[in-house]
Chain A
């Protein structure tokens, strides 16, 4: 209970009460359709997503590391669960949610927030674009083979969402969209699919229950891949969103604490019958835009959400799906990074390839984790390729034509080792060879092996070889790995 801790708590919770409560309400209203829509994406009853959103919002508000960020049931995690629910049912989803939470707690405890450094901007852009596309694709079942009236309603809904703020910004336009479309459907007795058709809505407070699954090795094998993917994607989106909120509010956050808070929230959510979630980019932006800054905003969003759904459950069930679809289309449009399309022209080609690969792989596999992994691997390979170009060898012959000095410049590692080995002329008859690596960096055993090989080859041709100017970085690694100054080196290197 240090004074710092108390002070932080006070600022986080009570520093902006009016703004936080107001924005919390706006976010809660926006969360209802999203939570329902994401449940439908995952193939479970709307109540699963609604309970999850309540519990994740409340717990991350308390235990998370980024005040002002909104976490709840999300599309990113929902798309991962589709096959699990389809093949094994809800109980397995709840178990996977608990396990994903535990994995996230472990990640936070191991301070894996630092790993985010390897996720480049291009991968992040690819991530949000892929997410936007997945959200949009998830709406298609509601838009294909439905009465023409649905299209009219969706178009009308979108018009309300985008145009209403020009009248007033005091009322959330998605809420107006829901109210207007629901009233129209009721008044004209339209025969449209409603939220009630999609499954059970909550009418009670959530209860504690242990997922009803056999605790066996097979069960673990079934849920672990899903849990790992959910944990990874959840953390990725949470850390990315935390960074966005950091930038928007110009404040700092504790990323590892955020991992732990996220994990606690998911673990607890699995036990009250909710699905896994994470931070939400769009909702967090809405929160900041509406004036939310503190932990209270996310907490209030969760509490308001629960009150709204338990009290207004009957009303929620008559909302036409068209209204939800309109809102989800707005979310997907808002999530997509449109500037990234323009940037395809201006950015380096490798960055664009990384971004596109992330998007394509994600949309193809419906798994953001695999997409991001692809992106990260590609960025790493491209980076290695670029660094490998920072390398050249020059040489000059002494006046008596018996000594050649090679000057090596730049980075020697696995990607440049081949070029390095090919740069020497072994056909030349020399008494002495000097390899000057003063201006080079030797990074790994691939380059050490290449250097050894060059030295050995020159020796075999009868030349005395001297290596000059191994700098400190290279020296340590050469000392530990180099073989050319040990007896029997040739045989070992040749693989005898």
Chain B
């Protein structure tokens, strides 16, 4: 039996993550592990003391003061975490899916890496708690999670919509092929319409690639249309998704070198940001 890891943090996206998890779990007959990670404290806390002097027994006094503050915050975070998980489990179980809650402390990405070894899919919200600070820029938890995960990741949009039309962004790379292969063998998408889209120049290689992918999907019994469009990948794909009411975008993730991504960002991140639909990413 397969397993889904759904990441919740109590933001508005958590409900949507639960709904997406329930939908996939029902379709596949999988169970769901709902994970909430309480962040470690690598930030300083108020009240700040800028007096710059060290008095008698400064070290122990300071240690007690910091520990006291941290303990209070940790207790609150724990309470809150349990409440979030309880709601999430209730929401997923209401759809008749088996759900377990997991409350962990530490770094989100590290925790996810430990947990995902037994999972088949990771579901995460498009934005989180820190949306005001990190709306999908380098540094947001989402991007870190997606980058470091070795499993397929479903990035949930603000609210769950029943999925009827799939848009597959196909660039001919290994992860895109993996994505197509996964759809072909998956019962989750059975009977849906699929649109294959390659953004770039119409070269023979691109043509051959997309035709091969279409043939594979047709062989699996899907209704497939395909096209090759010139332009900037993120813009074209986002426009398509919007204009034709696609409910889910499927693509391979993070093809380019890390260094390049560092300076000019990546198509994948851009896509997640600009698309209003959920995105299923394959590494």
Contacts and interface: CB of A to CB of B under 8 A. Distances in A.
Contacts of B139: 10, 14
B42 A289 contact: no
A285 B66 contact: no
A169 interface: yes
17 contacts: A3-B109, A6-B258, A10-B138, A22-B50, A162-B53, A165-B51, A171-B51, A249-B66, A250-B40, A251-B40, A285-B58, A285-B62, A286-B54, A288-B44, A288-B66, A290-B48, A335-B54
Interface stretch (A291-299, A305-313, A407-415): A291-299
B48 to A, nearest CB: 4
A457 B247 CA distance: 93
B49 A290 contact: yes
Nearest to B257: A1
Contact of A334 (B41, B48, B50, B53): B53
Interface of B: 40-46, 48-60, 62-63, 66-67, 70, 109, 138-139, 144, 147-148, 258-259, 262
Contact of B52 (A7, A16, A244, A290): A290
Interface in A165-183: 165, 169-175
A294 B42 contact: yes
Contacts of B138: 10
Given A3-B148, A7-B109, A291-B48, A247 B63 contact: yes
Contacts of A11: 42
B256 to A, nearest CB: 13
Contacts of B52: 26-27, 29-30, 172-175, 286, 290
A6 B262 CA distance: 9
Given A285-B62, A291-B45, 9 more contacts: A3-B109, A6-B262, A22-B48, A164-B51, A165-B53, A244-B59, A286-B54, A291-B46, A338-B56
Interface of A: 1, 3-4, 6-7, 10-11, 14-16, 19, 22-23, 26-27, 29-30, 161-162, 164-165, 169-175, 244, 247-251, 282, 285-286, 288-294, 330-331, 333-335, 337-339
B148 to A, nearest CB: 5
Nearest to B52: A172
Given A29-B52, A161-B53, A338-B57, A250 B44 contact: no
B262 A331 contact: no
Contacts of A10: 138-139
Given A6-B262, A290-B48, A15 B148 contact: no
Contact of A290 (B42, B50, B258): B50
A218 to B, nearest CB: 43
A290 B46 CA distance: 9
Given A22-B50, A338-B57, A7 B40 contact: no
B51 A250 contact: no
Contacts of A3: 109, 144, 147-148, 258
A248 B66 contact: yes
B39 to A, nearest CB: 10
B51 A173 contact: yes
Given A164-B51, A248-B66, A334-B54, A293 B60 contact: no
Contacts of B54: 282, 285-286, 289, 330-331, 334-335
A248 B109 contact: no
Contacts, number: 124
A282 B41 CA distance: 22
Given A3-B148, A10-B138, A334 B55 contact: yes
Nearest to B47: A169
B43 A15 contact: yes
B267 to A, nearest CB: 17
B50 A172 contact: yes
Nearest to A15: B42
A292 B50 contact: no
Contacts of B51: 164-165, 169, 171-173, 289
B41 A249 contact: yes
A177 to B, nearest CB: 9
Contacts of A335: 54
A158 to B, nearest CB: 10
Contacts of A169: 48-51
A171 B41 CA distance: 25
A293 B43 contact: yes
Cβ-closest 7 pairs across A and B? A334-B54, A172-B52, A291-B44, A165-B51, A19-B44, A291-B48, A169-B51
A333 B53 CA distance: 10
Contacts of B41: 249-251
A3 B146 CA distance: 11
Nearest to B63: A248
A12 B148 CA distance: 19
A248 B62 contact: yes
Contacts of A282: 54, 58
Contacts of B63: 247-248
Nearest to B113: A4
Contacts of A285: 54, 58-59, 62
A37 B54 CA distance: 17
A7 B144 contact: yes
Contact of B50 (A4, A26, A248, A337): A26
A14 B66 CA distance: 21
A250 B70 contact: yes
Contacts of A7: 109, 144
A371 B58 CA distance: 24
